[in-house]
Amino acid sequence: MMQERVLVHAPLGRDAIVAIELLRSGGIAAVACEDLARMPLDLRQDAAAAVLTEEAFHLADAKPLLAWIETQPPWSDFPFIVLSKRGGGPERNPALARLSAILGNVIFVERPFHPETLISVVRNALRGRRRQYQARDVLEDLRDSEERLSTALRAGKLGTWELTIETRRMNASPLCKAFFGRAPDEPFSYDDLIDSISPVDRNRVRDAMARSIETGEDYFIDHGVVWPDASTHWVEIRARIVTDRGEPRMIGVFQDVTAKKHAEAELLRFSGQLEQLVEERTAQLRQNEEKLRQAQKMEAIGQLTGGVAHDFNNLLAAILGNLDLLRKRLAGAPQLERYIDGATQGAKRGAALTQRLLAFARRQDLKPEPVDLGLLVGGMRSLIERSLGPLISVRTGLANDLPPAVVDANQLELAILNLVVNSRDAMPDGGDLSIVLEQSAPPPALELPPGAYLRLAVTDTGTGMDAATLKSAIEPFFSTKELGKGTGLGLSMVHGLAIQLGGKLHITSAVGIGTTAELWLPASSVPVQPADTIAAEPVEAPASTILFVDDDFLIAMSTVDMLEDLGHTVIEANSAREALDILNSGRHVDAIITDHAMPGMTGVELADRARALRPGLPVLLATGYADLPAGVISDLPRLGKPYQQHELSAKLSMILTASPRHGGEAS
């Protein structure tokens, strides 16, 4: 608690000293105030009362003190004790009467006075000041409570209202008025409130209010409100009956619940739509289950295709190897060489087919590189024409001098075939198909990154698609074909490929007119790399001892013959385990040629084990995959299956001459 001080201002004689000593003798803290003009400053510093002599107001400027009195807070009525001269109180002394009017809370003590009189008067003044302090604290607490309540109401967006039940007099806060479409300063009576209630809710509101008044139970209801602008809103009311002022009143809050009601209505509407959608979907579901089975079948076919392609590669390798050896044995027989050339070309076509099969089976990782799309599309023309049949004419418009596109050539060929087959199915009675390739700027709607792009467009004159079908065209498993006639994966695969390559698939269509599928692909500033060329004549490799590992008998037989024909000594192993046994035996080996896909241990695993036994030993990996399966990482040089003798010789020469140690004896 702050210390209570009494200020004493008596400018003449020893009056100030005497008064201070008297007060202190009575246990009252008293200090002198030398200047009446600075008394307001001292009053602000925990002064609880002031003792002044009458003549002080004649000898100094009292305006600062009077100004301070006028600006006191509402709870304050500062007490003054004025020591007057002999001659009576304010009723007989006009000067004191004026001081009484100016100072307000003033007590006059006529001199001379008994010491106890002054002490008693000052103590009474201090008690009065304490009560003022208590009133101040109560007012501040009340103001804080009101501010907290007001803050809470604003935070909760609650409008307050109070209704006197007998007189129907109502007070509403500005926010409450706003919930009824009224301005803050606009009158809003109980009748206005009732008139604002939606007609369908008015009787329900009256009944609920009457029940609350009769029983004393809390009033809680929501109802519609019609604003003056005829718009409809919703409010929620919570109130209770109080009787703290003698007459019963209903006090509570309003809250705008328009958004909540709209959400509930939307939820109800959505529930109905959802129920209908569930009914509709139960049937785009049984069909999808069948499509899923079809997709699983296609996955199994893909796996089977990959296996078949691998085995087919082995067969072609044996054929090409034997044809190479046969060509050397029959040198000088032109007619027989022509037959051998025909068989070789057929085997090479078969090798190209296996690469397509492997791409279809997803056994090749995506490998984007600069590709001349004009050459790619032109090279596919005969394949496209065979896929379309005789009823559909094909026209190509391939611009010249185009930059290459960054694509995976095998995957892009599959994507083009997918688009062509879709167009064929959309033209059962025949029609026209055009393939256009050009450099163009993609429209902003495609939201592609800045840069140069090539546009590859496949356009047909088929049945076309409506807006709903077009919207779902690239969704997985979506198909307009009869059950069993398609997987619904074609366009989704094309779309996924375009996204992977940094481009986009854009389709436009109109019923009865046809469809255009545009593949937007990023152009490359890097030129197309020339294909590796291998001399027709075998590259001579130094005569070496080669450990050849392959589990396929035909491959092993033809490759061993080709190696021996090149002058090498060959140690044959039919499994990786057998090859390790040979290395562990200490036999001399200059290099290993191994198949990759073998039971028990792959070629990559064999190479790692072999290098651990004999560091620096060259290993050549023979595989039918352009890229090893996912998860397999290796820096081994590779010989693609099927291979001919000159390719085998060139690769073998490369690894032998690059090896830091030519030999490979057991260390």
pLDDT tens track for 655-666: 888 765 544 444
33 and 8 in contact (C-beta within 8 Å)? yes
What digits encode the pLDDT tens for the residues 372-426? 999 999 888 888 888 888 899 999 999 988 999 988 887 888 889 888 888 898 8
Which range in 82-91, 583-592, 637-646 is most confidently predicted, on average pLDDT? 583-592
Q: Do 608 and 646 belong to one domain?
A: yes
Domain boundary among 142, 169, 202: 142
State whether 328 and 387 are in the same domain: no
Radius of gyration of the chain (CA): 52
522 alpha carbon, distance to own chain's centre: 26
Output phi, psi for 163, to 5 deg: -125, 120
Q: How far is CA 360 from the centre of its chain?
A: 34
Distance from C-alpha of 620 to C-alpha of 595, rounded to nearest angstrom = 9
Q: What is the mean pLDDT of residues 447-473?
A: 88
Question: Would 579 be classed as within a structural domain?
Answer: yes
Q: If 0-12 CB within 10 Å is exposed, 13-18 middle and 19+ buried, where does residue 667 land?
A: exposed
Find tokens 């399966």 and name the residue. 629
* CA–CA distance, 200 with 654 (Å, rounded to integer): 94
Tokens (6 digits) for 145: 């409570």
Q: Mark whether 19 and 136 lie in a shared domain.
A: yes
Phi, psi of 211 (to 5 degrees): -65, -40
Please say whether the dihedral angle defined by the alpha carbons of residues 654, 660, 663 and 664, taken in this order, is positive or negative.
negative
Q: Do residue 552 and residue 514 come from a single domain?
A: no
Mean pLDDT within 264-270: 81
Domain identity same for 383 and 514: yes
Same-domain check for residues 419 and 349:
no
Q: Look at the alpha carbons of 409, 414, 415, 421 in this order and tell me if their dihedral is positive or negative.
A: positive
Q: Which residues of 468-489 are buried (b: 16+ CB within 10 A; e: fewer)?
A: eebeebbeebbbeeeeeebbbb
- What CATH number has the domain bearing residue 471? 3.30.565.10
Q: What is the mean pLDDT of the chain?
A: 81
Whether 457 is covered by a domain: the verdict is yes
Q: What is the pLDDT of residue 522?
A: 92
Highest mean pLDDT among 74-88, 474-488, 506-520: 506-520
The whole-angstrom separation of Cα 452 and Cα 443 is 12
Last residue in a domain, options 261, 288, 321: 261
Domain-located, residue 179: yes
Q: Does residue 110 belong to any structural domain of this protein?
A: yes
Average pLDDT over residues 260-289: 78
130 and 166: one domain? no
Domain span at 583: 545-658
User: What number is the average pLDDT over the span 335-341?
Assistant: 69
Q: Is residue 424 part of a domain?
A: yes
- Residue 178 has a pLDDT of 87
Q: Is residue 268 part of a domain?
A: no
- In the three-class reduction of DSSP (H, G, I as helix; E, B as strand; rest coil), residue 548 is classed as strand
Listed residues 522, 537, 567: the one ending a domain: 522
Residues contacting residue 11 through CB under 8 Å, at least 6 positions apart? 36, 53, 55, 56, 59, 60
What pLDDT, on a 0 to 100 scale, did the predictor assign at position 294? 57
Q: Is the pLDDT of residue 295 over 60?
A: no
Give the phi and the psi of residue 460 in degrees, each rounded to 5.
Answer: -125, 165
Q: 239: helix, coil or strand? A: strand
- In this structure, are 508 and 382 located in the same domain? yes
Q: Is the CB of residue 46 less than 8 Å from the CB of residue 70?
A: no
Region for residue 362 given its phi and psi (left: phi exceeds 0; alpha: psi -120 to 50; beta: otherwise): left
Tens of pLDDT, residue by residue over 54-71, are 888 887 888 888 888 888
Q: Which of 200, 165, 192, 164 is nearest to 176 (CA)?
A: 192
- pLDDT (0 to 100) of residue 476: 57
**The pLDDT value given to residue 558:** 86
> What are the tens digits of pLDDT across the range 155-183?
667 788 888 888 888 888 888 888 888 99
**Residues 457, 460, 461: CA angle, nearest 5 degrees:** 145
In a domain, 529, yes or no: no
3-state secondary structure of 595: strand
- Rounded CA-CA distance 652/548 in Å is 12
CA 423 – CA 381 distance, rounded (Å): 15
Classify residue 530: in a domain, yes or no: no
Regarding whether 510 and 381 lie in a shared domain, the answer is yes
In this prediction, residues 549-570 reach a mean pLDDT of 89
Confidence of residue 353 (pLDDT cuts 50, 70, 90): low
Asked if 594 and 484 sit in the same domain, the reply is no
**For residue 543, what pLDDT band results from cuts at 50, 70 and 90?**
confident
Q: Residue 42: pLDDT band by 50, 70, 90 thresholds?
A: confident
> pTM score, two decimals?
0.43
What ranges make up the beta strands (E) of 179-231?
219-226
* CATH code where residue 649 lies: 3.40.50.2300
Q: Which amino acid would we find at residue 301?
A: I
Question: pLDDT by residue (tens digit) across 595-637?
Answer: 988 889 999 999 999 999 999 899 999 887 644 555 555 678 8
Residue 60 CB-density burial (10 A; 0-12 exposed, 13-18 middle, 19+ buried)? middle
338 and 413 belong to one structural domain: no
To the nearest whole percent, how much of the chain has pLDDT over 90? 25
Contact 472, 433 (CB under 8 A): no
Structure tokens at 131: 């009560």
Count of domains observed in the chain: 5
Same domain, 350 and 379: no
